[in-house]
A and B are shown apart, each in its own frame.
Chain A
Amino acid sequence: MIEAHNLTKDYGKKRAVDELSFVVEPGVVTGFLGPNGSGKSTTMRLILGLDAPTAGTVTVNGKRYRDHQAPLHEVGALLEARSVHTGRSAYNHLLALAQTHGIPRRRVNELIDMVGLHDVAKKRAGTFSLGMGQRLGIAAALLGDPQTVMLDEPVNGLDPEGIHWIRNLLRGLAAEGRTVFVSSHLMSEMALTADHLIVVGRGRLIADMSVDDFVRRASGNIVHVRSPQAEELRGHLVASPDVTVTVIAPGLLEVSGLSAPQIGETAAHHHLVLHELMPQQVSLEEAFMELTRDDVEFKTGVGPAATTEAAA
């Protein structure tokens, strides 16, 4: 369990993390989502105590990370930036980390096999590809059999097989009751892995909710209805307040403010024929774009969002 309370970090005049409060619960995969530069990596460094917060606190399993007697047993972390001496072999890198906690060599070998680095374990880490480096980082994160696993952009540089492997691994870790906290700037990746989302933009909390709620909230309950009696149906639907109905094509309505079952029941009540009843789920990607549109650090300078921003 990770608990952040009003966590704030300034680098000079720039505020990287802005009064962030959240709780990462055990047993589920929590996605930590935000555009590049939104403070995800900084937050993770604050959790590990690599950087000191300007204000606020963050605890892991009830204590500050540095106050634990066996830190590697509490949190296993993969940071976005490489954290390996390029001149040391993968095996010796893991061994040196394991030795700080008296973790046996057997465990090091086990993890090397598990992440699939067996054949290159004796090679210098500097010769590793991005994907191999990620696997080594994941092995390091899991060395201490940690209660909480925190991975910053773990799928970076992994091939499809590796991405599939990570997803299964994260789900498995959560199923074992561990706390799993994974950052990504790719919504589609989170859609396949996470149960819960913490979304940040410019260091501030934008959303803290389940993936389902996130999509539901962003999609705003829009339903497309196809009916040969569209005009008549429209008249019954707009009877209630908060409902808007737009005719987007002859015989095709876009209804917002009512769920598909409610529309179906209304139609049945009035003996109207429905040909299609389609809830319009926006994709997570669209939901994410919608939510973070105003909080993107580096805009491309094209598109309506950027134009409004420039005008303001």
Chain B
Amino acid sequence: MSSVANVQRLPRVPGVGRLTQTRVAVSEWTKLWSVRSTRWSLFAAFLFTIGVAALACAVVSHHYPRMSPQDKASFHPLEVNLAGVQLAQLALGVLGVLIITAEYSTGMIRASFTAVPKRLPVLWAKAGVFAFVTFALMLPAVLVAFFVGQAILAGHNIDVGFTAPHVIRVLVGAALYLTVVGLFGLGLGAIVRNTAGGIASFAAIMFVLPPLMNVLPTSWNNAASPYLPLQAGEAILSTTPGGHHLSPWVGLALFAGYAAAAIAVAAVLLVRRDT
């Protein structure tokens, strides 16, 4: 007859393993790579970082002979090279939100929290795995973007060497910055538990808040703006430290602090709220 007759007995497992943080991390690794949209977002962030940098360098390189002296003076080969990072941060921030909110929208979170009823290991594993994957992908992306971009700029002798001042700090910093962007999105997503709300709050805090500061008196604006998440984080990308910016590593640390705070709030809520 059909297969129903012989399936009543459940095959026994000899001693099921305990739940551990490492095992939850392995599970989150599987979850991250087994959803198409995640793979595409990571792939897109990788390609944007390299492709947009190459494009920007090619355009600048083409226009350079006709640029005004002032423009030439303010031109920095590393800044053009980071054009792709601006786009990549959007993809990674949104992905950070999605990694957690998609579990809520699909109901997967109930399965996750049934397997891991203490819940926090899921959040730590998501943050850890996502941070690792982002950094491991974006560091090579930024480096490839640098060498490709500078090779293009070298045609007009306006390139910068790998060992020139700030270069290594900016490149490694860019990968770290993107990692923190993703974690910030993850924290916000875990607080809001809703994809649209998570992306909106991420975009509002990162990109809407800074221009809103302009309504403040200039002195207030100058005093407060460097401490906003975006400005603080972008200090690590600066080729001309000083002025109204925080110093590079202080800025990045502050940005990481914001992300950590968002994840901490999410952790408290995660344990307390019903699912």
Q: Which A residues have a C-beta under 8 Å from some C-beta of B? A: 45, 48-52, 65-66, 68-73, 75, 77, 79, 81-89, 92-93, 95-97, 99-103, 107, 110, 114-116, 140, 142, 144-145, 161, 164-165, 168-169, 171-173, 176
Interface size on B, residues (CB 8 A): 44
Cross-chain contact A81 with B107 (CB below 8 angstroms) = yes
Q: Which residues of B contact A88 (CB under 8 A)?
A: 31, 34-35, 108
Q: Which residues of B contact A93 (CB under 8 A)?
A: 34, 111
Q: Which residues of A contact B10 (CB under 8 A)?
A: 114, 142, 145, 169, 172-173, 176
- A-B pairs, top 4 by smallest CB distance, nearest first, are A102-B17, A172-B8, A92-B34, A66-B117
The digit string for B220-245, where 1 denotes a CB below 8 A from any CB of A, is 00000000000000000000000000
Q: Which residues of B contact A92 (CB under 8 A)?
A: 30-31, 34
Stretch at the interface among B20-28, B159-167, B194-202, B210-218: B20-28
8 contacts between A and B (CB under 8 A): A72-B19, A72-B115, A88-B34, A99-B26, A116-B3, A116-B7, A144-B16, A168-B5
Cross-chain contact A84 with B13 (CB below 8 angstroms) = no
Q: Which B residues have a C-beta under 8 Å from some C-beta of A? A: 2-5, 7-13, 16-20, 23-24, 26-28, 30-31, 34-37, 102-103, 106-111, 113-118, 272, 274-275
Cross-chain contact B19 with A84 (CB below 8 angstroms) = no
- A65-B117, A101-B18, A173-B10 are known; give 7 further A-B pairs, CB within 8 A: A48-B114, A52-B274, A101-B23, A103-B13, A115-B7, A145-B10, A172-B8
Cross-chain contact B4 with A84 (CB below 8 angstroms) = no
Residue among A48, A75, A83, A95 with max Cβ neighbours from chain B (10 Å): A83
Residue among B2, B34, B107, B116 with max Cβ neighbours from chain A (10 Å): B34
Cross-chain contact A85 with B4 (CB below 8 angstroms) = no
Cross-chain contact A84 with B106 (CB below 8 angstroms) = yes
Cross-chain contact A72 with B113 (CB below 8 angstroms) = no
A45 to B107, CA, bound (A): 13
Cross-chain contact A164 with B4 (CB below 8 angstroms) = yes
Q: Which residues of B contact A115 (CB under 8 A)?
A: 7
Measured CB to CB, the nearest residue on chain A to B111 is A83
A174 to B72, CA, bound (A): 80
Cross-chain contact B7 with A85 (CB below 8 angstroms) = no
Cross-chain contact A87 with B17 (CB below 8 angstroms) = no
Q: Tell me, rounded to whole Å, the shortest Cβ–Cβ distance linking A15 to chain B.
A: 15
Residue among B5, B18, B31, B117 with max Cβ neighbours from chain A (10 Å): B117
Cross-chain contact A85 with B108 (CB below 8 angstroms) = yes
Cross-chain contact B13 with A144 (CB below 8 angstroms) = yes
Cross-chain contact A172 with B9 (CB below 8 angstroms) = yes
Residue among A89, A93, A100, A161 with max Cβ neighbours from chain B (10 Å): A100
